[in-house]
Amino acid sequence: MSAAHLGIVRVLTSDDREFVGTHGRVIAARYGIATESRCIPGQPHGIHDADTEALAVPKIVELARDLAADGAGCVLISCAADPALAETRAAVDVPVVGAGSAAAAVASGLGGRIGVLGLNDAAPRPIADLLGDRLVASVRPDGVRRTTDLLEPGADERALAACRRMVDAGAEVILFACTGLTTIGLADRVRAEIGVPAVDAVLAAGLLASYALH
């Protein structure tokens, strides 16, 4: 095991260290690797459209440079939309993982036909690009438009029903394109009650990072 740690770019701004470290803690607990999470400056609402993504790109590249300079052996851009992924790979000498393409990659290795569960009817672009015609369906749970909607009563059953519809349509693997689905522990229920693997974006990114750091 290498001594190098995983540098995590959170693509929003927050002073709440507990919140900022959420993804890093999940990855550290599952894969036993050290992580350091930092935020980009000046974007408390994160990335929510093309303008805020464009604004974030140079900040993500700069933050990744800082993390690598401070000893990170791998950098994770922890967002399913993979903002600034190509630019960051061009800028730093360590492997760079994006949560969206990592989830698509892991799902591609576990099944030939993938269903994407998220907050939008369309899969995030980097996930759709990487899956190509292996993407057989992309849905959101009924009544769910924001990640907080997943905490409402019955949302887990509606999310599970959405997964079941995709499996009935031929999906062999479910990909979670929203980290709110990690929080409600849906992956274990998809496996136990529907019988297919569920791939979470943060855990998939941690899996690939653990490989790169070994």
- Beta strand extents in 40-85 (DSSP E only): 72-77
- On the CB side of 156, CA atoms within 13 Å amount to 12
At closest approach, how far in Å is the CB of 213 from a copy of itself? 10
**By CB under 8 A, how many residues form the interface with a copy of itself?**
34
Q: Which stretch binds a copy of itself (CB under 8 A): 3-11, 116-124, 161-169, 204-212?
A: 204-212
Cα separation, 173 vs 57, in Å, equals 31
Cβ-contact 123, 138 below 8 angstroms: yes
41 vs 71, beta carbon nearer a copy of itself: 71
Cβ-contact 76, 201 below 8 angstroms: no
| CA distances for 8 relative to 75, 102, 133, 162, 208, angstroms | 6, 14, 30, 31, 13
Cβ-contact 170, 161 below 8 angstroms: no
Among left, alpha and beta (phi > 0; psi -120 to 50; other), residue 132 is: left
Q: Using CB under 8 A, pick the residue from 13, 30, 38, 184 that binds a copy of itself.
A: 30
Q: Using CB under 8 A, pick the residue from 36, 164, 172, 194 that binds a copy of itself.
A: 172
Binding track over 49-88 against a copy of itself, x by CB under 8 A: ------------------------------------xx--
Q: Is 112 one of the binding residues for a copy of itself (CB under 8 A)?
A: yes
At closest approach, how far in Å is the CB of 134 from a copy of itself? 8
Residues that bind a copy of itself (CB under 8 A): 30, 85-86, 89, 93, 95, 97, 101-102, 104-106, 108-112, 130, 132, 172-173, 195-197, 199, 203-205, 207-208, 210-212, 214
